[in-house]
Amino acid sequence: MAHDAPKVHVPRVVIHLDMDAFFAAVEQLDFPELRGKPVIVGGAPNERGVVSTCSYEARKFGVHSAMSLTEAYRRCPQGIFVRGRGSRYRAISKQVIDIMATYSPLLEQVSIDEAFLDVTHSQNLFGPAHDIARTIQVRVKSELGLSCSLGVAPNKFLAKLASDLKKPGGLVVIEQETARQTIAPLPVERIWGVGPKTAEQLRRQGLITIGDIQKCDPSLLTRRLGVHGHDLYRLACGEDDRPVANRDDTKSVGHEHTFDIDTADLEAVKSTLLSLVAKVGRRLRKKKLRGKVVQLKLRYIDFSTYTRQCALKAHTDLDHDIYHAVVKLLCDHFDGRPIRLIGVSVSHLCGEGEAAAQLSLFDAPPGKARKLAEVMDAIKEKHGEKSITYAKVKEYENEP
């Protein structure tokens, strides 16, 4: 009588790739005269934006991402300030992702410059995970001319942490057996989800390193920090069972705008929202997605930031539906202070077919709005994003 062979447990192995100073590195790649110089991507130093990325030469002066451009100039007046080129960065990002996808279908892109790859079952074909990571790193350098850092570990948290330990151009492996000891000396800020406020709260309790948290009573952490305390303890112990999700699993689609001058003009803000909604709607239609939840983001003159959201009656990808929802949120929550930044996003997404199936029998088909969207999309596809827009947007764009 034949017996099935016992199943062999294969330890999970995840690779995390992080491009080194990505936007700045692309600028130095395309413009050789920038190589070896402090490059700051984001805009001119007299503008109100923030630093997107800066080269390692600029980081020596204390410049970092999300710093205001004026502060970056104060710290590094000899820096070379350039505007970002989103389409160029996205094109190269796709090439990086395509290289990674060669080695496993389990790929999750988490931002334009970083992604996870589950190679648990790829090692029979391509060799050990460390070799796969090294091959990816060499290919990105030889084929694209760019540097990246990689981490190899039993889960996503450890892999991401590992990729950051020897930047730029590093490749670090964290083994399951030694994970706790390896990460114990690192500061608590290295744990996913620990920002400045949480770090300060932990420091007040004498928890300075990840090792300090490992020695804690997990129930005590839970009492002090709620559910987050339990998650914090598990991560500190190197435990993370989240799967590597498919790279096409888009969670939300959104756009933001920072005003050149803070404004409390509600009509001007509505006009800007309409422009953002048009971009969001077009991206949804291009991806053949529809969303159910609309979110408004408001940042006031004092940098205080608020998000408010509402659920629609049905999934949609139409500008008209999204705009009316987000404007209602604006009117309900705007407190009259000058606004620095406005944003809109759509989440709880599903495919077109799923959305159609969920429509109520009593919902009238949005024929005119659909036709208008299709015509505008076609014109923009052929002549560019700025070739056509709504009259309300144009009215405020043309104001002095």
What are the residue numbers of the active site? 114
* Cα 373 from Cα 335, distance rounded (Å): 32
Contacts of 120 (CB under 8 A, 6+ apart): 10, 11, 12, 13, 14, 106
Q: Count Cα neighbours of 336 within 13 Å in the Cβ-side half-sphere.
A: 0
Residues sharing a CB contact under 8 Å with residue 114, sequence separation 6 or more, in sequence order: 16, 17, 18, 19, 160, 163
Beta carbons of 344 and 296 less than 8 angstroms apart = yes
State which amino acid sits at residue 3.
Answer: H
CA 77 to chain centre: 29
Distance between CA atoms of 258 and 17, rounded to whole angstroms? 30
Rg (CA), the chain: 24
Cβ neighbours of residue 38 closer than 8 Å, sequence gap 6 or more: 54, 55, 57, 58, 60, 61, 63, 76, 78, 79, 80
The token duo for 199 is 């770090």
Residues 6+ apart with CB under 8 A from 316: 290, 291, 292, 322, 355, 366
Which H or E element spans position 52?
none
Contact 143, 137 (CB under 8 A): no
**DSSP helix/strand/coil, 16:** strand
Sign of CA dihedral 199, 205, 209, 211: negative
- What does the alpha-carbon distance between residue 307 and residue 143 come to, in Å, rounded to a whole number? 41
